[in-house]
């Protein structure tokens, strides 16, 4: 089945999709990467944006966007895997960043190491130094979040901030709370959209992807590549070439996005897909993808498994599990029935392990999948009121 899927992608890419794609059938700005950045999209809907660089303790340079509002009410938005800050503004004025800004919040939108905006380091070069890519969501939680949070608290003078995370954008808060418990007090509440922690009950394509990661890892080892689905990687370019074709909606939407995240065509219409493709995926490390697959395969929320090196690194043959009892920050879990990645069963497992869950809600939109929380056409109707309710309660 996995090989079939790979075969399908390759066949379609090399023969069908591309040959159908004459010059007037492609989205040129996608192929030429002339896409608007966060600041430009926000400006189009009348929002002013400030850009900051935040340097982490281990010298990564992260881009942080700020839409100024009431400084006593800062909210930090964190994107998921191979995604970026753009995800929270792609829908223009019906995006979460715009909605929170209109509601008066001081909106900060972060970028974790390795993506389009945070592919920078004080002395490592992401194109030449493989060490740059030696990270997973562990380092994003352990280094990127504290640097980002402290920067915001310093700028605003607030003692704590609220946060909204999507997918792996929540996992990193769990890592932070478990590994640096003093940060629990700096977070008033984290609203977890499509939360990712345990991956014991993945469905369909996501489960196949997790089980084929070791195969992908082998291929990467042969080619020596450490960057995963970055803008200029072969896979990233191939994806844009295929899905940047106007005739590819069927294949890209149904064969890739819906197959992985759960199907909800009404919420990602054909006119909107090119916008998504122009901004997603936008890169992470192979190690991050492998770490995620380890969580799914071992059915344990653990640190990275270095195999024979575990003893040196952890003084234990198995990687230690993250201690969720130390994650004492308030957590609101907003999940979807049709989410094939963050399944209700796994969200419930998380709910039972966390000491301070203040809200658990299955979103009232039957087909709510793993992407609707950031890209859904009508998310401002069925999701944003739930987010605002929790924010008002705790900020
Ligand atoms: C976004 O685009 C604007 C306008 O071209 C530019 O000034 C700004 O530096 C860009 N920001 C980033 C993070 O790329
Ligand atoms: C977004 O902007 C359009 C056009 O200005 C407007 O009709 C619509 O009501 C706005 N939507 C929201 C959620 O603000
Ligand atoms: C390593 O683990 C052993 C057994 O759990 C323990 O006795 C020892 O003190 C640990 N060593 C270090 C350096 O933490």
> What is the model's pLDDT at position 248?
84
Residue of 93, 103, 383 to test ligand 2 pocket, by largest number of atoms within 8 Å of CB: 93
- Is the Cα torsion angle 226, 143, 373, 361 positive or negative in sign? positive
**Tokens representing residue 229 in the block:** 């689905």
CA distances from 128 to 5, 121, 225, 227, 234 (A): 32, 12, 11, 11, 16
Q: Considering 167, 248, 293, 342, which one is annotated as catalytic?
A: 167
Q: How far is the CA of 92 from the centre of ligand 2 (A)?
A: 9
The answer to whether 370 is a known catalytic residue is: yes
Helices (H), 246-371: 249, 259-261, 273-279, 286-298, 310-314, 344-353
Q: How far is the CA of 29 from the centre of ligand 2 (A)?
A: 25
**Tokens representing residue 251 in the block:** 């294949």
Contact 343, 349 (CB under 8 A): no
> What is the model's pLDDT at position 87?
97
pLDDT over 70 at 14, yes or no: no
If pLDDT is split at 50, 70 and 90, which confidence band does 21 have?
Answer: low
> What is the model's pLDDT at position 213?
85
> What is the model's pLDDT at position 10?
61
> What is the model's pLDDT at position 223?
83
Contact 268, 188 (CB under 8 A): no
pLDDT over 70 at 389, yes or no: yes
If you search the block for the tokens 């919040």, which residue do you land on? 105
Q: How far is the CA of 315 from the centre of ligand 3 (A)?
A: 6
Distance between alpha carbon 48 and the CA centroid of its chain, in Å? 24
- Length in residues, the chain: 395
Q: Considering 83, 86, 106, 339, which one is annotated as catalytic?
A: 339
Q: What is the DSSP string of 184-203?
A: GGGEEEEEEES--S--TT--
The verdict on the CB of residue 40 being under 6 Å from ligand 1 is yes
DSSP structural state of residue 307: G
Measured CA to CA, the distance from residue 87 to residue 31 in angstroms comes to: 19
Q: How far is the CA of 313 from the centre of ligand 3 (A)?
A: 12
pLDDT over 70 at 23, yes or no: no
**For 94-99, what is the mean pLDDT?**
98
pLDDT over 70 at 82, yes or no: yes
The verdict on the CB of residue 63 being under 6 Å from ligand 1 is yes
Q: Considering 162, 365, 370, 372, which one is annotated as catalytic?
A: 370
Backbone angle region of 210, left / alpha / beta, with phi > 0 → left and psi within -120 to 50 → alpha: alpha
> What is the model's pLDDT at position 2?
47
Q: What is the pTM of this model?
A: 0.93
> What is the model's pLDDT at position 220?
84
If pLDDT is split at 50, 70 and 90, which confidence band does 215 have?
Answer: confident
Residue of 42, 94, 383 to test ligand 2 pocket, by largest number of atoms within 8 Å of CB: 94
Residue having the nearest C-alpha atom to atom 1 of ligand 2? 93
pLDDT over 90 at 388, yes or no: yes
The tens digit of pLDDT for each residue in 111-167 reads 999 999 999 999 999 999 999 999 999 999 999 999 999 999 999 999 999 999 999
Give the 3-state secondary structure of residue 236.
helix
Distance between alpha carbon 21 and the CA centroid of its chain, in Å? 30
If pLDDT is split at 50, 70 and 90, which confidence band does 9 have?
Answer: low
Residue having the nearest C-alpha atom to atom 12 of ligand 1? 37
Task: Work out the percent of the chain whose per-residue pLDDT is above 70.
Answer: 93
Residues 6+ apart with CB under 8 A from 69: 100, 101, 104, 105, 106, 107
Higher pLDDT, 345 or 246: 345
Task: Find the ligand nearest to 62 CA.
Answer: 1
> What is the model's pLDDT at position 3?
47
E strands, the chain, in order: 50-55, 60-67, 70-78, 105-109, 120-121, 161-166, 187-193, 227-228, 284-285, 331-335, 357-362
The tens digit of pLDDT for each residue in 306-321 reads 999 999 999 999 999 9
**For 279-297, what is the mean pLDDT?**
94
The verdict on the CB of residue 53 being under 6 Å from ligand 1 is no
- Start-to-end CA distance of the chain, whole Å, equals 48
* Of the candidates 293, 71, 263, 49, the residue with the CA atom closest to the CA atom of residue 168: 293
Phi, psi (deg, nearest 5) at residue 272: -95, -25
The verdict on the CB of residue 39 being under 6 Å from ligand 1 is yes
> What is the model's pLDDT at position 8?
54
> What is the model's pLDDT at position 287?
95
Residue having the nearest C-alpha atom to atom 4 of ligand 2? 93
**For 231-251, what is the mean pLDDT?**
86
**Which atom of ligand 2 lies at the shortest distance from residue 93's CA?**
1
Higher pLDDT, 214 or 147: 147
The answer to whether 254 is a known catalytic residue is: no
- Point out the least confidently predicted range of 24-33, 84-93, 352-361: 24-33
Task: Find the ligand nearest to 380 CA.
Answer: 2
Q: Which fold has domain 36-230+281-393?
A: Rossmann fold (3.40.50)
Average pLDDT, the chain: 92
> What is the model's pLDDT at position 218?
86
- Point out the least confidently predicted range of 99-103, 149-153, 339-343: 339-343
The tens digit of pLDDT for each residue in 256-272 reads 889 899 999 999 998 99
Residue having the nearest C-alpha atom to atom 10 of ligand 2? 93
> What is the model's pLDDT at position 1?
38
Measured CA to CA, the distance from residue 353 to residue 131 in angstroms comes to: 34
Higher pLDDT, 222 or 72: 72
**Tokens representing residue 256 in the block:** 């890739």
- Point out the least confidently predicted range of 43-57, 189-203, 211-225: 211-225
The answer to whether 166 is a known catalytic residue is: no
The verdict on the CB of residue 166 being under 6 Å from ligand 1 is no
**For 325-346, what is the mean pLDDT?**
96
Output the CA angle 141-144-146, nearest 5 degrees: 80
């Amino acid at each position: 089945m996995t090989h079939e899927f790979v075969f399908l992608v390759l066949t379609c890419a090399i023969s069908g999709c591309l040959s159908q794609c004459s010059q007037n059938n492609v989205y040129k700005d996608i192929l030429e990467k002339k896409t608007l950045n966060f600041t430009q999209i926000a400006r189009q809907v009348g929002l002013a944006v400030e850009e900051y660089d935040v340097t982490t303790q281990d010298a990564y340079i992260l881009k942080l966007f700020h839409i100024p509002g009431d400084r006593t009410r800062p909210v930090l938005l964190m994107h998921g895997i191979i995604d970026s800050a753009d995800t929270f503004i792609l829908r223009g004025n019906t995006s979460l960043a715009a909605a929170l800004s209109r509601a008066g919040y001081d909106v900060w939108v972060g970028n974790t190491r390795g993506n389009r905006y945070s592919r920078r380091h004080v002395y490592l070069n992401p194109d030449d130094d493989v060490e740059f890519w030696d990270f997973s969501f562990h380092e994003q939680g352990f280094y990127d979040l504290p640097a980002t949070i402290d920067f915001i608290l310093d700028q605003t003078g607030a003692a704590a901030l609220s946060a909204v995370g999507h997918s792996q954008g929540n996992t990193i808060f769990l890592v932070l709370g478990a590994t640096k418990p003093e940060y629990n007090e700096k977070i008033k509440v984290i609203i977890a959209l499509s939360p990712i922690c345990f991956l014991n009950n993945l469905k369909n394509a996501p489960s196949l992807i997790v089980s084929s990661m070791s195969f992908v890892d082998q291929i990467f080892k042969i080619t020596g590549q450490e960057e995963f689905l970055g803008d200029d990687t072969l896979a990233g370019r191939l994806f844009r070439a295929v899905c940047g074709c106007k005739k590819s909606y069927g294949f890209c939407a149904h064969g890739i996005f819906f197959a992985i995240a759960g199907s909800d065509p009404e919420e990602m219409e054909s006119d909107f897909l090119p916008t998504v493709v122009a901004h997603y995926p936008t890169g992470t490390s192979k190690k991050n993808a492998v770490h995620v697959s380890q969580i799914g395969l071992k059915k344990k929320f653990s640190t990275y498994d270095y195999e024979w090196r575990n003893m040196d690194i952890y003084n234990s043959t198995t990687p230690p599990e993250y201690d969720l009892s130390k994650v004492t920050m308030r957590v609101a879990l907003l999940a979807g029935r049709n989410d094939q990645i963050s399944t209700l069963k796994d969200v419930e497992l998380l709910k039972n392990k966390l000491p301070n869950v203040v809200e658990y809600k299955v979103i009232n939109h039957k087909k709510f999948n793993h992407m609707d929380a950031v890209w859904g056409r009508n998310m401002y109707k069925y999701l944003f009121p739930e987010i605002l309710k929790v924010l008002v309660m705790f900020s």
